[in-house]
Structure 1
């Protein structure tokens, strides 16, 4: 068996509609300029009510499906179980299996890391639809409306047209002018990912709490390891009413005390780290190109009237 250059870990929970499109978007020929034998995808089914099956995905692709029944409501254990199987020199993690990719994502990310093997290469995240989904769902946006949007751009014939039907996610509202607090997709050396200990399984809150923030902080903490933000490539969140993308987002009340979900997340982070979460702003190196007319206002929003 050929050893792939890149292992992509994708976590899914109850995403029968979304996950096949995500996997299609990560595979050649949709992914341009990236050889089919250079990628393996490891799908971690985080105990979906209907188990994810291998035959949901192309038969000729290097796709492995594992089922994690003890992961709880956090993706961390599922990520680490899948990452332990990675054979590639490089690893990518898609923490939310509802996120479709732009067509040059893998090529751009792996080209960027060739500049420095210690680099951490990250992307911006977008929501399909007119606004962030925690808002758009309160204004009539539905999965059927989303399917119509995708049909309207002829997806998957030109994946860059996803930029025509999306909005910047809340974590990415500054574009690439400021480092985001997290990323929806990253590439780094597999050995470095493992040396960092992967995702901290102590984050057990719904959706993983601040686990993605925590990993981002650890991955960008080394000043000798470049932090690269891609321009012109990203991921696009399909509506699936997730932990933070349903109505209200992280501000929605949860539990008997009806406290904001963000407070639950913050309390867990402080318990694990011994201090409140404080966002750092590492200086990114930008890598990429303007792949679509909508890229400039989305990636560089402050330059657009």
Structure 2
């Protein structure tokens, strides 16, 4: 098969479309013929040499894909060759074929075409596992998501609104904030000129991709019994945490990731995917939550897709069609 390979750590030009060995499904695995994949910030870090894949995982980047089932490994039930699927991956999406643990496979949700479906698994599993399974966002609460114009943010806005929450977002321009409002955001904060603590007031749940740079203000904005969930480190990895503020609010701070979780277990990727299929996929099928795709490029233009994401020129997701 052919796949995007990383010649050496570096800029977008190190991504090459090359021949690599075909993967073969083992016990409990499914071989998927890839229709499309999507670009995530983790892919950029991997290309730069800062985020190697888990041990035993292919070096081909790509944390999600859509396509059709090409073959079933021993012991797999519930799927047939030819089924249209999308999948959460630990790597390998930028390729013609990829092997997926069966518990990480999802049907393409109703009303979504096969290519657009590639933009859903990573954001859906990230948002659902953190905002719902961990932080327990419920109707009537206030939810703040930083980076509201990104892939995670555009999806989180819609999920939170579907759950009945008041939604606040930060983004870097009036245009991007206006598009967040179209998705359902109620409170719009331009992080370049406004203080989100003053604008939001109190948030019951905060989903943060900035890490250290926002840590103290995120604690400030938490309501009593508030929950801060950190999923990124774009603003640095080390910050000072005021425990006194947390104690006074009975608040909590969590930090989680998906890529290195095991497949099995109560917090494993399989459990997340199962809950996404049961509870979130109906929201997608009835239109309450929809894919937000900024552009679709051929997979051979993966370097151009990385440049666009690095340049802050993307609203939602960039999809690579294979």
Max Rg structure: 2
Q: What TM-score, normalized to structure 2? A: 0.25
Greater RCO, 1 or 2 (C-alpha within 8 Å, sep 6+): 1
Q: What TM-score, normalized to structure 1? A: 0.26
Which structure shows the higher strand fraction? 2
